[in-house]
Amino acid sequence: MDLELGGKSVIVTGGASNIGRAITLGFAREGANITVAELDAEQGEKVAEEARKLGAADIQVVKTDITDMAQVKNMVDAAVGKFGGVDVLVNNVGWDDLMFFMQTTPDFWEKIIKINFIGMLNCTYTVLEHMVKNGGAIVSVSSDASRQGEPREAVYGAMKAGVNSFMKTIAKENGRYGIRCNVVCPGVTIPDMDEEVAEGSMWADRNAMFTEDQFAKIAATLPLKKLGRPQDLANAILFLSSNAVAGHVTGQVLSVSGGYSMVG
């Protein structure tokens, strides 16, 4: 099925690592024009080269700290300047460091809030200024920790719950402009290879997150008995980005987690 994403201008934040990498390469296969907003520009260029080989119409990497509004505006200006507008924004950036709430500090809370919530606000606000003219799709990556409540992810889960609520409101406010806004919620999603992970990623040392034995135990608790892979999330995001197949879908929060969360 043709998703009709060929030639579309797509921004992927954090588009060079793990889920973000899979999203970027997914849009490349569809022939999109891609702007990768990435702190690790070197890793971004590696992914951009892969994307060109897979069929991206064009791709650029813009070094961006999404918590800095000036850098976000520069990145969006680069997308608009090169590709004529923005058709799709994927708010993919996220970060956490697993620990119980009473082990955390106010400085840690601030970092979590900036990366997982303020950065998403910066990107959405800046892109909406352009999308109100021609419509578009915004997909934000949240987490099933936002729906279940997960030990060692208190502040992160709270921020991702904020993403869910925010995107529903933005969907209601901007649907009249032909803008669709949706959310995907991963469960534990692990990269296939260490080479797929940027230096600053929370998965840069996967053993710092969970041991291999813990990964196996997590998988055993899921209805599908397997952990998520980056492509699982990319597939859902491509679907939600496409007016051809998801043109009447907005304001939705979709769990892509092997059945960890089942919300009806």
Which sequence positions are flagged as catalytic? 156
DSSP string, 60-106: EEEE--TT-HHHHHHHHHHHHHHHSS-SEEEE---------GGG--H
Nearest to 233 by CA among 179, 196, 194: 196
DSSP for the chain?
Answer: -----TT-EEEEETTTSHHHHHHHHHHHHTT-EEEEEES-HHHHHHHHHHHHHHT-SEEEEEE--TT-HHHHHHHHHHHHHHHSS-SEEEE---------GGG--HHHHHHHHIIIIIHHHHHHHHHHHHHHHH-EEEEEE--THHHH--TT-HHHHHHHHHHHHHHHHHHHHHGGGTEEEEEEEE-SB--SSGGGS-TTSTTTTHHHH--HHHHHHHHHHSTT-S-B-HHHHHHHHHHHH-HHHHTT--S-EEEESTTS----
The candidate with the shortest Cα–Cα distance to 178, out of 247, 228, 126, is: 247
Q: Two tokens at 250?
A: 């907005």
